[in-house]
Every structure is written in structure tokens, then in C-alpha cells.
Amino acid sequence: MPSIFDIQVGNWNEEVANEEKPVVVEFWHHKCPVCIQMKPIYKSQSEKYGNEVKFTRMNLLDSRENRKFAIANGVRSTPTFVVFCEDTPVGHIIGYREPDKFDKELNTILTHIDSCLKSTPIKA
């Protein structure tokens, strides 16, 4: 069963930048009620895509570096889900989504971005 990996700025290169497949990063924190609501929805997506997409999350309250990094990547609220392909942000989903809407938006990002199409077998 695929996992959701907890990441920090310190292991970004290992967990995201050097990854060949698309990586979804959830920028979140434990005091965010919407983040908690999204947890099972995000988990179900990691199970759906299996090993074709890597799912990670960065807790913005873990360190000042995490917060600075998130801001530098356009994160202004939590939860924010950013899809990275070849270490380039290619799509964002911000805030709460019903499961079917989150699924549709994520699939659209993964199947319509050239760099993602090059690095994954996922097809529209």
C-alpha cells in the first residue's frame, strides 16, 4: 500500500526534486481544520495512484524553513496541494474539495501537463 511521506526542506531534493515520477506535496499543519478534513481524501488518492505518483506532505509548523519554502512556492493558505513534475510546480489545488472534485482536479493536472506526461504512465 502506498504511503504519504512526511518531508522537510532538508530532504526536499531526496524526496521531491530528484524523483522521476510526479510528486504531490500537501502543505499543511495540524492546527488547520480543513487539513484534517482532507486527510482521508488525500490518503485515498495515494492509494488510487499507487506507485505511479508519489504523495508527500510538509507540515508548515515544523520549522521556519518549511514556512519560508512554502511561501517561496506560492503557498498562501492551508491546505495547498502542489503537483511537481521534474521539480517544477505544475498545478495547485487550494483548500477543501469533495472527494470526487479533488480526484478530478488532480487527474486533470497529472494528465494535461507535458512534463508529467513524460514522467508517468498515467493517461487521460
Q: What is the pLDDT of residues 45-88, one digit of tens each?
A: 999 998 899 999 999 999 999 999 999 989 999 999 999 988 88
Give the rounded distance of the alpha carbon of 30 from its chain centre: 16
How would residue 116 be classed by pLDDT, with cut points 50, 70 and 90? Answer: low
One CATH from 3.40.30.10, 2.60.40.10, 1.10.3720.10, 2.40.110.10 for 4-119:
3.40.30.10
Q: What is the mean pLDDT of residues 9-32?
A: 95
Strands annotated E in 13-104: 23-28, 54-59, 80-85, 88-94
Q: Is the pLDDT of residue 119 over 80?
A: no
Residue-range domain boundaries for the chain:
4-119
pTM: 0.90
